[in-house]
Chain A
């Protein structure tokens, strides 16, 4: 069985074996380098190329599998993104609500600061009341306040709001009970106040219309009114403090009562945003009753 009859000379055998051993060592070192070296991208590349060359069907199947897996992964990502989107929308809505609440608080704080400032300066201020309720059927008629007799509120007190640092007439207390009161708004048809145009000095009567505007009647037929002109309480009013801002002229109307002119007035106070009402004693302190 030994095959030593190949005619190979001993001096030729040793160098060939050494060479083979040397090459084996080199190959083993190379192989170890591949095994333990960090050649992952290279290995993936080689495996991919070999797979494509040797087994194109397998490569195709692998590609199809990856593509399908990719689609599934995309769907999963989309589902996750959808869930995340829902969560973010919810969080955004909640934060939006909080921001709105904060802005309301800031606005309220600003109003209260202004009220406190004015109340400290003015001994005529009786109370600061909050609007407790409002009748939807008579929106521009009256509001209910949370301050009543026990807080010093009496019938005939003048209700004003503070807007941009100035007081604006809102109405007059017409009913009082122990823990609440009713304020007749300037826009109620029953409301009337002697008013004046400071620019010309003309007097008239401001009346409510039941809507979001007022009417100033009994103006001189030849008076010139301009849009935006201020309308204030007259010094000749025995009820309202003088020079209290009521509103601004919007336009002159064609209405004539006994030959007098009339004008439409937009209230200075925003009657849709009534929160705190400053209650003042009326002019002279008379005509006030519990």
Chain B
């Protein structure tokens, strides 16, 4: 499959996973942030930011906040993870957790800043969701890699 198309399919799959998990488990890990981080670390800054922007737009479409905030935040996350690919071993579990924590922090920081700029009142962040995002990052990254290979093979 075309790599761009494969990435688009993966993006949709990640979004679907995010929706399903968030629907049933409010404290479920932020799958989209993890996906964007994985995408940046795996495919570089350009694809990471493009996937982040697209996924962010999808999340903005489903959310109530100012349209575009999550797109910008995830694009920045994808870009930063792409920059980190040369210095971080994407296969290391601890490195994945650090990457996930950094990505989530960057995402929340940028999004919070944009919310403040627009005057939108942000709801309190679920600490359990942050914890699960960091703890499950190695498993989620492995799942993305597995699915990515299957998609590429298709």
**A interface, CB within 8 angstroms of B:** 1-4, 6, 8, 13, 16-17, 19-21, 23-24, 27-28, 30-36, 39, 43, 46-47, 49-51, 54-55
Contact = CB atoms under 8 A, between A and B. Distances in A.
Interface of A is mostly: helix
B118 A36 contact: yes
Contacts of A27: 49-50, 53, 71-72, 75
A47 B58 CA distance: 9
B62 A39 contact: no
Contacts of B60: 34
Nearest to A51: B62
Q: Which 5 A-B pairs have the closest CB atoms?
A: A34-B68, A20-B45, A50-B61, A31-B72, A35-B68
Nearest to B95: A1
Nearest to B71: A31
A228 B56 CA distance: 97
Contacts, number: 97
Given A3-B85, A51-B61, A24 B49 contact: yes
Given A1-B95, A28-B76, A20 B19 contact: no
Tell which of A4, A34, A36 has the most Cβ of chain B within 10 Å: A34
B102 interface: no
A47 B89 CA distance: 37
A50 B62 contact: yes
A76 to B, nearest CB: 25
A36 B119 CA distance: 11
Nearest to A17: B45
